[in-house]
């Protein structure tokens, strides 16, 4: 027996070591899983990147156990933990299903058997097999052996029905937990979810009653604080703003988690706004945004700030500004759709009722385009987008009607205006009024209803006043009459100017709708019909409408390019051709071969706006830069052959149609040299002085006094500048190619002038 004892000891030690190895591995896996589960999740409910990293480590460690210690008692634990790690990391549902099915098949006696069924159904739901998942969960509720997990199943079913907006079914399952399983772990969560469900159904008083009952139950402090938030929120929704403000402020004092401060502050800001304390509300909105940039709560703050301007201060331009920030803060915010929609409504209110706005019409219409884009891209509702585009198109007719109405008012006022001027400025009229002391002037005789453009002040009307009216001194009456008439004219003149300004503004709006908004909206309609609805007939019909009514518009060409499956190029034809020329010239310094290639494309199209300019530029590059007169000759000959080419004179300075100029120097250089010779005496003094300075600096560098004297000689003598012609090789080239559309550099070397 003694001889076997060492072997038994070794075996025992090995077994103990083996147990410790896989136990430690599993222990670490459970620890990592717990850490990942406690990490805050993203706004969409998914695990964040750090949590996903920990879940991956869990999966790896569980894999080690299932591979190296598959017969250990922790095998089913590892299998269940691995499946849950796949499930919660997101997008690992196929692997999760595989692990749960393995556990159900190979470990029917496992303590995780029931839970594996639950997570199997939940994984099917996440795989978009929703009907199958719900049926599986309902079947589990019918089995007594699954009674321990019934509260979990009920809570899961309630969540699924709520997500599907079947609030009645969700309420049924939550009430089941609250009433039948008050001692379950799910009771507290179910009770809280029930109060929140009523809030989402806008049953605010019932929600408040539920949360009040929850607070009075034996639940955690954390749950009570969360319930108090909804108590205050329900007060706000019930328009009990004073109570909402008070409860929010008290909650902020008691809250222990700083992460919840911003949403409570947001409640306070909203309460202040509804109590008309808008300045304090704005300060708090700004504080929330500054402290929580690019976050969910910042997006909410901007939305409710916009709501304050929209509903309370009626500053619709400020509302648009705030609404537009919602998506910038959180593009996945639930408030993005509301903000885009409200911004569009605000823009229409401004267009209809606020002619004195500061926002330009393009900005306002852009809000409607954003709404349509949101319907199309975010909600996949092309029909709703089409409705918005049609509203934009129809707005032009409304502007036209408004313009006609304003013009009619202006015409009526214009007819009355000369009469008023003549009545007041005529000496004979004033004499008549002063001389006739019997004229009776009632106090309201000069009343003018500006809105109706009614004016009936005439001499006959003054003479026909009631006989029993109070008479006043004739001089006073005349003076008072003139003053009152002048006030009337001033009022009419003000109205006249206002109408002129409104008409001018409406004319600008009409033109913008005509030239930009309507073609743009129609282009987007064509895109929807062609790419989304696959209705080529309607798309082609709309395109032909644009071609008939907006033939030169960039969106018209874009429609035809779209239907022809061509690359869509926005911009007018002239803009596109200018861009082509600029693109060609921008390569000149680094790669003139590329410039030649692109200019050749332009020069091959005689209808191109820059056809002649391209020919001239090609000749210029070949002659001055490449010094190849043979290559330059064909381009310039084409220009000389044209009767009315604006470039003919320029070409003839260097080429007469047969030969290039043969002087040793170009004319510009000759003129420069002649100018220099004419100033030779002065130039000689300048050059000699400069040479003296250089010689002196080289010979007496250590003698400061000599250096200063020579420098003085230089500065005194350099008074005659070289003629401007010395600095320019050819002014003609600079004039013709140095503008914004042509930036050809001047040649730096003299070309070969012999053909």
Q: Could you tell me what percent of the chain has a pLDDT over 70?
A: 73
610: pLDDT strictly greater than 60:
yes
pLDDT digits (tens, 9 = 90+) for 397-418: 888 888 888 888 877 777 765 5
Query: Residue 585: pLDDT band by 50, 70, 90 thresholds?
Result: confident
pLDDT at 576: 73
**Residues, the chain, total?**
755
1: pLDDT strictly greater than 70:
no
The DSSP result for 60-101, as a single string, is HHHHHHHHHSTTSTTHHHHHHHHHHHHHHHSS-HHHHHHHHH
pLDDT digits (tens, 9 = 90+) for 376-400: 776 678 888 898 888 888 888 888 8
The number of angstroms, rounded, from the C-alpha of 198 to the middle of its chain's C-alpha atoms is: 35
- d(Cα 407, Cα 417) in Å, to the nearest integer? 15
Contact 178, 195 (CB under 8 A): no
Query: Residue 43: pLDDT band by 50, 70, 90 thresholds?
Result: low
Question: Half-sphere exposure (CA, 13 Å, Cβ side) for 309?
Answer: 20
103: pLDDT strictly greater than 90:
yes
Q: Which of these ranges, 163-167, 310-314, 527-531, 563-567, has the smallest mean pLDDT?
A: 563-567
Which residue carries 């909105």 as its tokens? 285
What crossing angle do the helices spanning 113-126 and 150-163 adopt, rounded to 10°? 10
Of 29-38, 150-159, 425-434, give the range with the top mean pLDDT: 150-159
- d(Cα 622, Cα 615) in Å, to the nearest integer? 11
- d(Cα 186, Cα 175) in Å, to the nearest integer? 12
pLDDT digits (tens, 9 = 90+) for 443-476: 333 333 333 333 333 444 334 444 444 444 555 5
Instruction: Write out the E strands in 223-368.
Output: none
Note the pTM of the prediction, 2 decimals. Answer: 0.55
Q: φ and ψ at 238, to 5 degrees?
A: -85, 5
Query: Residue 186: pLDDT band by 50, 70, 90 thresholds?
Result: very high
Contact 196, 167 (CB under 8 A): no
């Amino acid at each position: 027996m003694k001889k076997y004892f060492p072997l038994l000891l070794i075996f025992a030690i090995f077994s103990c070591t083996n147990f410790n190895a896989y136990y430690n591995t599993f222990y670490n896996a459970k620890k990592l899983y717990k850490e990942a589960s406690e990490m805050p999740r993203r706004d969409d409910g998914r695990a964040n990147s750090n949590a996903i990293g920990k879940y991956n480590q869990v999966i790896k460690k569980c894999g080690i156990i299932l591979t190296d210690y598959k017969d250990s008692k922790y095998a089913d634990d590892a299998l269940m933990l691995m499946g849950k790690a796949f499930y919660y990391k997101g997008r690992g549902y196929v692997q999760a299903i595989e692990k749960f099915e393995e556990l159900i098949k190979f470990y029917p006696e496992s303590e995780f058997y029931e839970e594996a069924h639950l997570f199997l159904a939940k994984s099917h739901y996440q795989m978009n097999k929703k009907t199958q998942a719900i049926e599986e969960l309902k079947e589990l509720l019918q089995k007594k052996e699954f009674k321990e997990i019934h509260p979990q199943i009920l809570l899961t079913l309630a969540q699924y029905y709520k997500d599907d907006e079947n609030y009645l079914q969700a309420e049924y399952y939550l009430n089941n937990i609250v009433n039948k399983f008050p001692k379950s772990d799910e009771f507290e969560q179910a009770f809280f979810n029930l109060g929140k469900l009523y809030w989402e159904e806008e049953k605010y008083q019932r929600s408040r009653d539920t949360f009040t009952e929850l607070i009075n139950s034996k639940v955690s402090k954390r749950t009570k604080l969360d319930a108090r938030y909804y108590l205050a929120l329900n007060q706000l929704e019930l328009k009990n703003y004073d109570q909402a403000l008070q409860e929010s402020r008290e909650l902020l004092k008691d809250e222990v988690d700083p992460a919840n401060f911003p949403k409570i502050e947001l409640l306070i800001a909203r309460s202040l706004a509804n109590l008309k304390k808008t300045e304090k509300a704005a300060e708090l909105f700004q504080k929330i945004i500054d402290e929580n940039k690019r976050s969910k709560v910042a997006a909410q703050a901007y939305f409710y700030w916009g709501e304050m301007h929209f509903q309370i201060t009626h500053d619709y331009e400020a509302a648009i500004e705030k609404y537009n920030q919602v998506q910038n803060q959180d593009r996945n915010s639930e408030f993005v759709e509301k903000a885009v929609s409200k911004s569009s409504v605000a823009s229409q209110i401004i267009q209809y009722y606020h002619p004195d706005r500061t926002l330009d019409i393009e900005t306002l219409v852009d809000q409607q385009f954003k709404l349509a884009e949101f319907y199309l891209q975010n909600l996949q509702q092309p029909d709703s987008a089409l409705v918005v585009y049609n509203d934009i198109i129809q707005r032009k007719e409304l502007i036209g009607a408004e313009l006609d109405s304003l013009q009619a008012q202006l015409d009526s006022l214009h007819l009355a205006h000369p009469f008023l001027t003549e009545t007041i400025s005529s000496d004979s009229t004033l004499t008549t009024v002063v001389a006739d002391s019997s004229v009776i002037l009632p106090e309201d005789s000069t009343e003018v209803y500006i809105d109706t453009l009614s004016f009936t002040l005439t001499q006959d009307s003054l003479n026909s006043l009631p006989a029993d009216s109070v008479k006043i001194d004739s001089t006073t009456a005349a003076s008072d009459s003139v003053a009152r008439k002048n006030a009337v004219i001033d009022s009419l003149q003000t109205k006249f100017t206002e109408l002129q300004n409104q008409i001018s503004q409406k004319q600008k709006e009409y033109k913008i709708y005509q030239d930009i908004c309507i073609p743009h909206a129609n282009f987007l309609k064509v895109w929807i019909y062609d790419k989304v609805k696959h209705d080529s007939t309607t798309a082609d019909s709309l395109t032909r409408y644009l071609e008939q009514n907006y033939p030169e518009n960039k969106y018209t060409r874009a429609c035809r390019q779209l239907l022809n499956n061509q690359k869509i190029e926005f911009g007018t034809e002239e803009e596109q051709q200018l861009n082509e020329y600029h693109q060609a010239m921008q390569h000149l310094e680094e790669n003139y071969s590329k410039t030649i290639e692109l200019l050749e494309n332009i020069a091959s199209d005689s209808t191109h706006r820059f056809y002649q300019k391209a020919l001239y530029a090609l000749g210029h590059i070949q002659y001055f830069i490449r010094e190849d007169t043979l290559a330059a000759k064909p381009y310039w000959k084409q220009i000389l052959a044209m009767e009315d080419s604006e470039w003919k004179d320029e070409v003839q300075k260097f080429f007469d149609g047969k030969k290039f100029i043969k002087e040793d120097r170009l004319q510009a250089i000759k003129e420069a040299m002649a100018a220099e010779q004419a100033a030779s005496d002065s130039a000689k003094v300048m050059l000699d002085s400069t040479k003296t300075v250089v010689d002196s600096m080289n010979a007496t560098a250590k003698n400061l006094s000599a250096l200063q004297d020579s420098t003085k000689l230089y500065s005194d003598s350099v008074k005659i500048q070289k003629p401007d012609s010395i600095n320019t090789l050819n002014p003609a080239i600079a004039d013709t190619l140095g503008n914004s559309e042509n930036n050809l550099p001047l040649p730096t070397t003299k070309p070969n002038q012999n053909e």
